[in-house]
Amino acid sequence: MERKDIDSLLEKIEKLTAESIRDVEEIRVKFLGKKGEVTRLFEEFRTIEPELKKEFGKYLNELKTKAAEKIETLRENFAEFVEGSSLEDFTKPGDNFELGTRHPISLVREQILDIFGSFGYSVALGPEIEDDWHVFSALNFPPEHPARDMQDTFFINPDSSDPILLRTHTSSVQVRTMERQKPPIRVVCPGRVFRNEAISARAHCIFHQVEGLYIDKGVSFADLKQAILLFVQQMFGAQTEIRMRPSYFPFTEPSTEVDISCNICGGKGCNICKGTGWLEIMGAGMVDPNVLEASGIDSREYTGFAFGMGIERIAMLKWLVNDLRHYFENDVRFLKEFQSVI
């Protein structure tokens, strides 16, 4: 080994270039690997005369250091492509990224919208922070109605003469649709709503709704019944039956609560339906004429129906979820149960 061998190899290393991270690895093996050129010089160093070892040892160490620095510089040019990976072993298997799944609320929401979309309904959206007019007054809520109370509604400025609040239902979107669109109107209104309730297995201060509205000439209660029947049979199965019970809502007259035959026991009675064979899923009714008039629609010419359901409630019945809080806790064990749901 002579000094010129070291200088020649150093000059060769300084001129090195690489076009890929694989080239960098090949350079490392060529010069610093077990059979590399720098390693070979260190092997020859063992046979050098003792009085020359100090001098040649210094040059060899400088050569090895510069070779390592050059290779590291080349490697940094491709660092963004190999971050966190090992350059030592290209046969190492890649990372096994686990696929996620859509949230059950999103799955049910899209299924509901798809069903009503096939009936000709379009989707209407609106703000979550609303005014009193769109949430209450335009929907025929009297000033003394308990839903206006602080126990039920999150008011942002309760002392104001024109209060702002978090919407308690997506009926406010129906009002906005009627204000800007002339009949015929056929929309479904999905969204998140807020009510000042204690959180438990059966109630939450945040939940999701889908409400529907159909206004045209000659719309009847029979149309409402048929639309709901077609929906529940597509959602829960062709064997599903419906039952309508008289009820009261300020914005519909007549009003009804809608039950479906229990999809768990087939209507025979079980602990899910409390032995009745029926499960409540939504409220509905014919749009009150006062609501039509408040939005500028002539109630003598047009009629319509409206309905509303909680998405969490539909998901609970569809997949037998026994606690509403599961939907909001982001527990991956719960969410993994829906990986196979399309």
The enclosing domain of 329 has a CATH number of 3.30.930.10
Q: What three-state secondary structure class fits 180? A: helix
Q: Examine the domain organization and report whether 15 and 141 are in the same domain.
A: no
Do 75 and 118 fall into the same domain?
A: no
Q: Write the DSSP assignment of 24-37 as a string of letters.
A: HHHHHHHHHSTT-H
Q: What is the pLDDT of residue 341?
A: 64
- Considering the domain architecture, whether residues 156 and 292 belong to the same structural domain is answered as yes
Does any domain span residue 93?
A: no
Asked whether residue 111 falls in the same domain as residue 222, the answer is yes
Q: Is the pTM of this model over 0.75?
A: no
Host H or E run for residue 235: helix 221-236
Residue 147 lies in a domain: yes
If you ran DSSP here, which 8-state letter would residue 173 be given? H
264 and 295 co-located in one domain: yes
The answer on 70 and 15 residing in a single domain is yes
Mean pLDDT by 10 residues, the chain (342 residues): 76 85 86 84 77 77 86 77 53 73 90 96 96 94 81 85 91 96 96 90 88 97 97 93 94 95 79 84 96 96 97 88 86 81 58
Are 266 and 121 members of one domain?
yes
Both 234 and 132 in one domain: the answer is yes
What's the order of all strands across the beta sheet hosting 185-194?
122-123, 185-194, 206-216, 303-310, 278-287, 252-261, 242-249
Q: Are 80 and 24 in contact (CB under 8 A)?
A: no
Distance CA 312, CA 232 (A): 15
Beta strands 185-194 and 206-216, pairing class = antiparallel
Domain of 191, in residue numbers = 104-338
Both 112 and 10 in one domain: the answer is: no
- For residue range 90-127, what is the model confidence (pLDDT) as tens digits? 666 777 777 778 889 999 999 999 999 999 999 999 99
The per-residue pLDDT for range 268-320, each reduced to its tens digit, is 887 778 888 899 999 999 999 999 999 999 999 999 999 999 999 899 888 88
Supply 7's token pair. Answer: 């200088």
Upper half-sphere CA count for residue 68 (Cβ side, 13 Å): 7
Residue 97 inside a domain? The answer is: no
Query: Residue 1: what pLDDT?
Result: 59
Torsion (CA) 49, 52, 56, 61 in degrees, nearest 10 = 90
Count how many domains the chain has.
2
Answer yes or no: do 303 and 254 share one domain. yes
| CA distance linking residue 21 with residue 72, whole number of Å | 11
- Residue 281 CB: number of other CB atoms within 10 A? 23
Q: Are residues 122 and 69 in the same domain?
A: no
> Comparing C-alpha atoms, which of 40, 30, 54, 58 is closest to residue 1?
40
